[in-house]
Each structure stands twice: as C-alpha cells, then as structure tokens.
Amino acid sequence: MIPPPRIVIAGGGSAGWMTACLMAKRWGHLGAEVTLVEAPDIATIGVGEGSTPSLKRLFEILGIAEADWMPACDATYKASIRFVGWSPASEVADYSHPFTTQIDVHTEDAFVNNCRNRRLGYDVPTRPDAFLLNGVLAAEGKAPLAPANFPFRMEYGYHFDSAKLGLFLRAHAIARGVTHLSRRIVRCELAESGDIAALVTDRGEPIAGDWFIDCSGFSALLMRGTLGVPFHSFSDNLFNDAAVVLPTPPGEAIPVETVSTALSSGWAWSIPLTTRFGNGYVYSRDHLGPEQAEAELRRHLGVAADGAEARHLTFTPGQLARHWERNCLAVGLAHGFVEPLEATALHLVLNTVDLFVDHLERGGFTARHRDAFNAVITGRVERVRDYIVAHYKLNTRDDSDYWRANRVNTHLSAPLLEILDVWFRRGDLAARLGAMEGLSHFQSLSWHCLLAGYGAFPPLGAEQRDDVDFHRDRDVARFLGGCAMNFPSHADALGLGAMAC
C-alpha cells in the first residue's frame, strides 16, 4: 500500500501530536511527509489529564518506555475511576469502575451472577471493586504493575499533565521527521473537485497536501469551517456544557484512581499527578452560573484551593455528522466531544487514527470505505455517549433540579433503552450486549459495574426464586487479596517511596 505522500495536520494539541506520532510511525518509512501547523497564539484546551488503557497502547506502538515519558509528564498510574455521591438513595456512597484486566476472567462470573441474583431480590454483594483486581489495588493504593511472577497481563490507564504530554509527543514526532510549523491558518484553498488543496497561513504561504487532518479543537476549522460538515449536538441527552478548573497541591499519598464526586449541578474530578491534583467541576449552565460553580468547587476542595487561579471553559457535547469528508479527517475535539466523565476523548483519538490508517492501507480511498469508516466512528462515539447518559439517568439524588431533570430525561437512544430494559427485566445482559451491533469501549463488565454501582436493583426480597446459585464474594476477596499482595505501592512504583512515607 502507498500512503498519501503529504499529510498536513491542522492543530498541535494532544490530538494533533498523537496523530503526527502515529502517522510518522506507520507511514514515515514509506516516504510519507507529515507536517503539523499550529497557531502560536491559540492555546490548546489545557485539560484532559486522565486516560483509558489506550494511552498505554499508544506508547507501546511508539516504542516509548514508561520510564521515559511518565516522569516528563508528572504521570501516575490509574487503575480505576471512583464515583462518589451519585446514588445516595440506593445507599451506595461510592463505587469504582476499575479497568478490566486479564485475571478478572476468574471473578467476572461471580460478579455477574451476583448482579443477577441481586436483581432477583437476594441480598448478595455487588460492589464491583470487590470483584476486580484493579479495584482491590486502588483501594490498597498499589500500582497496577504486576510482579515478575504474575502470569496475567495488567491493563491500566494514566493521569498526566496534558501540556507536558503534548510537548513530549511533539519532541518525539519532530525527532521522527514531522515538520512543525508555528503559524495561524487563515483559510483553505480548494481544488476544483472540492477537496482541500492547501492551508493558507497568516504569512500568506500555502501549505499543500494530499490529506488533511483537522485537529484544530472545538473550532473544527477544516471540517465545519471549510467543508461545512454539520455538527450533531448531544445537548438533549447530556446537560453539562461548562467546566471550571482549579489545581491543588499534591497529597502525601498519590491515589491510583480518578475520583468523580457528584455536586449540585454536575460533578467534580480529582486527578492525582506527581506534582499537583488536577481538579475541575463539569456543570450545566442552565442550572448554575460560572461564579456559583467556582464557589462550589472551592468549597468542595477546601483550603487546598486557597489562592489557586480558576480557569473557565465551555463546550457543546456532540459530534460531526461525518468524521471523514473528502480528503479530510477530523480527530480530537474537532470531531466532537461527549463529556469528560470516563475520560474517553484520547481513547477515541487513538481509535479514529488506527481505524483510518487501516482503511487507507486496505486501499480504501473509495466512498464505500469512507462511509463504512464514518458509520463505525459515529457508532463508537454514540455508545460512549450512551454509557455516560446512563450515569445521569440512574442517579438517585434529590438535592437539585439538575439531578431530578437528568433522572426524568427521556432522550435515551434505542440501544440504551434496550440495555436498561434487559437489566430491569432481569435478563441476560452479557448475552444481549454481545449480540448488539458495533464495537463499544464499554462492554458487559463495565455495564454491570455501572448498574450495580448505582444500586439499580429491586428492593431486597421483592421476588426470590429458589433455583439460583449464589456466589458470595468471600472467596473472591480472598483470591484477589492474595493476588494483590506482591504488587508495589503506587509511591514505590513512581520512585517516590521515600517522599510518601
């Protein structure tokens, strides 16, 4: 396969530099020229500091060791996300959604069976973190780094400084031959066919290319601005459209999890780095003003936030109608944004670039390949949206209009309605998810974590049957406790053992 000779990337945020690194890696040795243009006077978004395990995969593809990039980006390990205060009426103070790892195959059945038995009215444990190794490690403050004799592959994500990650990837890309131009793009030249022929910068110079990647952030300069691709908003499904961000100093211990705490009109994240905590409050402007949101976040963080400067930003949840249009691909915020809960944006960046490269390598410059690609990416974004919508739909808070409005929101997609229907009818959710079309980042185990985590069960003893097979978590806890024994503490894994003591 011959790659497009000249690839021009518009935008140098995390999405732009990830794309540049991946394309240089896949196509550099075949003679592809990769150029990235970024405006020196338009800042990157500067948030986005939690990942899924796909960031681990990115560094594996690029051949970059953790010891090389993690200290440079103040990065820590992420085994799980803990949700606090989302479902008080179900008496669930908090629950975790750990990243699934290979050894969970031994305990997944016990968890899924308990969820089924609990739906049948039996009083059995259903806390996801008690059944999944990363949940146990997060509770013990241990890094998800397997000891040498542990025969299973561990999955985990990271927390990192987004600006430093961008700089690190930039240096890597430039060292591998990517041309970096610090210029503002002011317009595009179109070919007679309607394809993009060149980006024109504020210096009047055209930057010609065969393929253009729009990584220009929310402005989607090429896709929306030049090619007029429509944007489909998710505002009916998801109410949050703003965030306020505040750093606080690092704690003595560095947790191995992101904490997402429900507040009056949204939720606050807490992301531990080696040098600070990244915090933010994602909220709905229909329910709360920016000043109130900042005041509430400061109250939530306490004295740790005194003197810290807040940053405010807004967004519209949704995605482009098409992610690949003519000779242009949208990646990152330019292609859309669901919302930060579950930290899936960079995961979708890697997904999009991977799939695009695969399509092109199969000779896919045709409309058929383009349409197939667009359908897959659109579906993946929608399935992420559905999972996040379920968080809001299932909340049991009653302290504000925001939470009540989320609970009665009827804008649910058909696949989400089907999932909830199977669950509440006490059906086999794993089988139904397996039979549903399209590949979702959130598979059966994740859905069980979410539904169990919200306590989405009938009252105890409501409908008991005699033929069920209980799987108590006692044996599971003993098994997982044994597995966790030899894992290093998080601080030791980061080389900070002495500091944390």
Q: What does the binding site for ligand FAD look like in residue numbers (CB under 6 A)?
A: 10-16, 37-39, 42, 44-45, 47-51, 162, 184-185, 215-217, 219, 221, 243, 280, 282, 313, 315, 332-334, 340, 343, 345-346
Report the half-sphere exposure of 144 (CA within 13 A, side-chain side).
30
Shortest Cβ 149–ligand FAD spacing (Å): 33
Residue with tokens 């998080």: 490
- Catalytic annotation present for 78: yes
Burial track 414-427 (b if 16+ CB lie within 10 A, e otherwise): ebbebbbebbeebe
Could you tell me which residues are beta bridge partners of residue 324?
329
Residue with tokens 């915020």: 333
Q: What is the DSSP string of 432-484?
A: HHHHSSS--SS-HHHHHHHHHHTT--PPTTSS--SS-----HHHHHHHHHHHH
Of 37 and 480, the one with the shorter C-beta distance to ligand FAD is 37
Cβ atoms of 73 and 165 within 8 Å: the answer is: yes
Catalytic residue among 78, 142, 164, 393: 78
Could you tell me which residues are beta bridge partners of residue 266?
263, 283
Task: Report the Cα 265 to chain-centroid distance in Å.
Answer: 21
Which residue, among 357, 360, 352, has the nearest Cα to 380 in the 3D structure? 352
Which residue, among 191, 75, 28, has the nearest Cα to 490 in the 3D structure? 75
Residue whose C-beta lies closest to ligand FAD: 13
Could you tell me which residues are beta bridge partners of residue 188?
199
Report the half-sphere exposure of 284 (CA within 13 A, side-chain side).
20
- Which residues are known to be catalytic? 78
